[in-house]
Structure 1
Amino acid sequence: MFETHVDALYLWVGLSAVSVAVLGVVAGLPMTAPPNATATAATIDEVATSPPGSVEKRRLLADEWALEAGALRLRNDGGTAQAGLTQYAVAADSERLRTVLDGTAPASVYDSPAAFRAALDRARARNETWRPAPERLSIGHVAWGGVDVTLVG
């Protein structure tokens, strides 16, 4: 009545193999969730539609970020997330643009609105580049001499 059946050995070996396979799948799953690009894009759009001089900071749970025409991309170990932007934004990727984003008037950093526009055009050309993500993303709406832009950095 309590004899070992030959089929039981095969059952245990098969069950062990399945258990190891399931453990491998679970161990391969990402430990973090993908970043929340939608909320960050909403913050960028909110600042872009606010009066010039508006500034907002948003905590960023991502390893890298990039702006492209009409979209924000964020990525971390959990994956890549993308969200659309209704307003165009420029990544403040130079020291001078970051100074303007930090609150310094563009007139104190650039010689003319044309020089400011040229710096923005150069930054727009590099917008799609993946950059290391800061802990907090700063967003500012800047207007000077006919140049109206939303800077992100």
Structure 2
Amino acid sequence: MFDTNVDTVSVWVAVGAVSVAVLGVITQLPTSAPPDAAAAATTIDEVATGPPGSVATRELHATEWSLAGRQLGLRSAGGTVHETLLHQVVPAVNPSLAAVLDGERPSSVFDSPDAFRRANERATTEREQWRAAPDRLTARHVAWGGVDVTLVG
């Protein structure tokens, strides 16, 4: 009546192995949700399709971001997400474009509309790379001397 059943040991070993496997899966789950790239892309698209002078900001909950052509990428501890934008935008990666993004007139930063166009082309042709994400994403639609772009930074 009190004899040990041989199957009991194998059942306890199996239950222990399953418990260790479940613990391994749980510890690998992300601790937070991935960033909301859809909301950021919507904000950028609203500015890009709006009239020149349009500007919008959105809080970002990401550690890194990338922007190349029509692809916006956001990365955090919760994961990496990509969204496709309606129009090509320009990342404000150099100080001159960042000044225009912050509200400076292009004519006060660049010598000519052609210099502004070249700066935008250089920023657009840079290959995609991950950069530290700002706390707030800003998008500004700028038109000057035949150059019509949406700057994002």
Normalised TM-score (structure 1): 0.93
Q: CA offset at residue 74 of structure 1?
A: 1.3
CA contact (8 A) 1:65 1:131 kept: yes
Corresponding position of 1:77: 77
State the alpha-carbon separation in 1 of the partners of residues 126 and 70 from structure 2: 14
Corresponding residue for residue 46 of structure 2: 46
Q: Is the 8 A contact 1:51 1:141 kept in 2?
A: yes
Of residues 139-148 and 1-10 in structure 1, the stretch that sits farther from structure 2 once superposed is: 1-10
Deviation per residue, 1:103-137 (Å, 9 max, x gap): 01011111110111111111112252211111111
Structure 2 residue 10 is matched with structure 1 residue 14 = no
Where structure 1 has 5 or more consecutive residues not aligned to the other structure, the ranges are: none
Which residue of structure 2 lines up, in the alignment, with residue 142 of structure 1? Answer: 142
Q: Secondary structure at the match of 1:149?
A: strand
Give the letter for the 1:77 counterpart.
A
Range with bigger deviation, 59-68 or 40-49: 59-68
Distance 2:140 2:74 in 1: 19
Answer with 37-46 or 27-36: which moved more. Answer: 27-36
User: Unaligned stretches of 5+ in structure 2?
Assistant: none
What is the match of residue 95 of structure 1? 95
Aligned mates of 1:69, 1:116 — CA distance in 2: 18
SS of residue paired to 1:82 = strand
Which residue does 2:132 correspond to in 1? Answer: 132
**RMSD of the alignment, in Å?**
1.3
